[in-house]
Amino acid sequence: QGSELSGWAMGRWTYEGIDLNHNFADLNTALWDAEDNDLVPHEFPNHYIPIPEYYTFANATVAPETRAVIDWMQRYPFVLSANLHGGELVVTYPFDMTRTYWKAQELTPTADDGVFRWLATVYATSNLAMASEERRLCHYDDFMRSGNIINGANWHTVPGSMNDFSYLHTNCFEITVELSCDKFPHASELPAEWENNRESLLLYMEQVHRGIKGVVRDRDTEEGIANAIISVDGINHDVRT
């Protein structure tokens, strides 16, 4: 509905009044509670965390769009993703929710913080608008001092974000890209926005080729093993085949 003059968050909610940006299941709290009680990973997983029962009830405040996306994520083993927002020029990476629940901002890294910082940096350094030497601040945050990337929770906490859900419930590593200072660019500006982001989108997608690849096979039959858990020393977050 129109421009920022009608409200910064205008258009964020669905017809049913649900903010999709906060609508995924909060798996962070369950993980952190289990960590505080020394239950991870022997009694509580550090990955593929199950969706809480309350979230699956028919009367739960979950948008059909959110349920559809979760079903999509469960059917396809995505490993890399990004969601695109507007209103700033910065790339954020998980966790998006602060570990101290009453804090609005708090550095809250994942066990794969180095990978997430790399992914965010790949996008930010190849984005023409973010990398421009003539760039000005969008609002009051100077993200240029940190290379135009920031831990999501260290900017502002977002419980129930898609990024955190992807990381804790699937194999997928997901970031958020704030594409432009203007939250509602005019149609005439879209070609320039495409040019700003074309190379960074391609370079970001190419990052799926980093890391270790292979097939986990049964020693006797040579058949591939689905859902085999792979652990890396020093990283308290496993993945599955």
Which residue among 35, 174, 178, 222 is the active-site one?
178
Instruction: Tell me whether residue 178 is one of the annotated catalytic residues.
Output: yes
Distance CA 130, CA 149 (A): 10
Longest dimension (CA), the chain: 66
DSSP of the chain, one letter per residue?
A: ---GGG-TTTT-B-TTS-BGGG-S---HHHHHHHHHTT-TTTTS-SSSPPPPHHHHSTTSS--HHHHHHHHHHHHS---EEEEEE-SS-EEEES--S-SSTT-S------TTHHHHHHHHHHHHHH-HHHH-TT---SSS--GGGGTTEEEHHHH---TT-HHHHHHHHSS-EEEEEE--S-SS--GGGHHHHHHHHHHHHHHHHHGGGSS-----B-TTT--B-TT-EEEETTEEEEEE-
| Cα distance from N-terminal residue to C-terminal residue, the chain | 43
Cite the active site residues: 178
